[in-house]
Amino acid sequence: MNSSILKLSLSFLICSVVLAGPPYSPSPVIEKIVWAPVDTVVRRATGSDNLPVTWADDDAIYITWGDGWGFEPKVPKKLSMGFARVIGEPSNFKGVNIRSTAEQYGCGRSGRKGWGLISVDGVLYLWMGHADQHSGQSQLAWSFDHARTWTFADWKFSQFGLMGFVNFGKDNDQARDDYVYSYSHNGTLADTPADSFILMRVPKNRIIERKA
């Protein structure tokens, strides 16, 4: 493309965006975002990804990690879903891998992943994605012993490919009602685009019930 035409096209595009204005009204709550200085960023569990987190009743942070080996000392075999406990302050924290029979193997679409975690009344709840091992379906699991053992629901959501939980405070103790909230993009597969999100809720004492 001729450089003058390219410049003209870019100028027109920029002007169009400015004239159109922002697509949504400014948030009345969020005034600005301030990024932490680069030299304060601490990286651990390198080589692992996903990392949904929740703040549990014992004051520790629990996570799942995917497609990796977790924290040092790393697990010997790569997992598609592992578990860990994080303690300490942001500037000096420590992550400890939790070995569990619920660990998952595989990679990419064929490996089951942890998409969402929440702690409610001392119980950890997990949304596991890629439940069909083809990037689809979400399955619920729960743990009464801080991620060492898990029970998996005998049902799955085939409609939602990537579900998460909305956390609010330690053990979700800042929740404004008696519901637990989950969300998903409006798609059956975890790694496909969607143009909307779905918010859903369940009474906190009936989380494991599909019909609730």
* β-bridge mates for residue 100, sequence order: none
Q: Which domain holds residue 163?
A: 48-203
The answer to whether 53 and 117 have CB atoms below 8 angstroms apart is: yes
Please state, for a pLDDT cut of 90, what percent of the chain lies above it. 77
29-42 tens-digit pLDDT: 999 999 989 998 88
pTM above 0.95, yes or no: no
Residue 12 resides in a domain: no
CB count within 10 Å of CB 111 equals 19
Residue 208 resides in a domain: no
Distance between CA 80 and CA 67 in Å, rounded? 4
Distance between CA 206 and CA 128 in Å, rounded? 18
Residue 24 resides in a domain: no
120-176 tens-digit pLDDT: 999 999 999 999 999 999 999 999 999 999 999 999 999 999 999 999 999 999 999
Per-residue pLDDT at 21: 73
Reported as a pLDDT band with limits 50, 70 and 90, residue 79 is very high
Residue 86 resides in a domain: yes
pLDDT at 15 over 60: no
Question: Cα 65 to chain center, whole Å?
Answer: 10
Q: What is the DSSP string of 123-140?
A: EEEEEEE-TTSSSB-EEE
Residue 209 resides in a domain: no
Number of domains in the chain: 1
Residue 85 resides in a domain: yes
Distance between CA 183 and CA 166 in Å, rounded? 8
Report the pLDDT averaged over residues 93-105. Answer: 96
Per-residue pLDDT at 14: 53
Residue 149 resides in a domain: yes
